């Protein structure tokens, strides 16, 4: 699908232009194919599209996935509802938040051990609300959604996701391995941009 809405913040627009040029290996495209098919099937039936990106702590990869997927859907004019969750409650990792800021998102937050972050990709929509939560948190869709498993631990240890009509593994490596190293920022940006490039690829394929 051709982009029909590009009113993202200027720095984010620049990031997206760079991200969309990143190569995606054929094996990754094959992994993404079921997600594309799920979204397209719902669109074809004129049904609501609900995507819940799930990782163990809902702190890094699942948050990146939710936020970039919602942004890509907006960019291409595809109506979807993107959520995220985990099997344990921690906090949206501040390193991941910092990476999103570097990409050009506008972000504010509340206080506390598990603060809520309010994330804007453009001036004309309400923010994405992000915080660490269980996959069945009331803020998420509870029925007729696809569970997108973004980490191996959650995928292997949650054999059943109540309410999910489709389970799709799209695993990513955890940038946590580089916490408190000189590579930290670069590795978080690398993972964020990989996820972004794949989400933009997915939504570019929706007709």
What is the model's pTM? 0.96
Structural domain boundaries of the chain? 25-204
* pLDDT value for 1: 56
In terms of phi and psi (left: phi > 0; alpha: psi -120 to 50; beta: otherwise), the region of 47 is: beta
Of 71, 93, 90, 92, the C-alpha closest to 82 is 71
Q: What angle do CA 132, 177, 105 make, to 5 degrees?
A: 50
Homologous superfamily (CATH) of 25-204 is Response regulator (3.40.50.2300)
pLDDT tens-place string over residues 106-144: 999 999 999 999 999 998 899 999 999 999 999 999 999
Q: Which pairing describes strands 81-85 and 106-109: parallel, antiparallel, or unpaired?
A: unpaired
165 pLDDT higher than 80 = yes
- What is the enclosing helix (H) or strand (E) of 65? helix 61-76
């Amino acid at each position: 699908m051709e982009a029909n809405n590009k009113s993202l913040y200027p720095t984010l627009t620049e990031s997206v232009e760079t991200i969309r040029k990143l190569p995606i290996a054929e094996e990754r495209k094959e992994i993404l194919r079921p997600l594309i098919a799920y979204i397209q099937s719902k669109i074809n039936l004129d049904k609501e599209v609900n995507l819940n990106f799930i990782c163990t702590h809902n702190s890094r990869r699942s948050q990146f996935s939710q936020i970039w997927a919602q942004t890509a859907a907006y960019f291409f004019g595809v109506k979807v509802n993107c959520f995220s969750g985990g099997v344990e409650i921690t906090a949206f990792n501040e390193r991941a938040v910092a990476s999103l800021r570097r990409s050009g998102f506008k972000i504010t937050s509340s206080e506390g051990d598990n603060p809520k972050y309010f994330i804007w990709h453009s001036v004309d929509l309400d923010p994405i609300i992000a915080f660490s939560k269980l996959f069945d948190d009331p803020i998420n869709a509870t029925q007729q959604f696809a569970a997108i498993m973004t980490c191996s631990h959650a995928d292997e240890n949650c054999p059943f996701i109540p309410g999910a009509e489709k389970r799709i593994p799209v695993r990513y490596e955890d940038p946590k391995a580089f916490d408190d190293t000189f590579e930290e920022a670069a590795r978080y940006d690398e993972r964020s941009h990989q996820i972004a490039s794949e989400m933009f690829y997915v939504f570019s394929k929706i007709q």
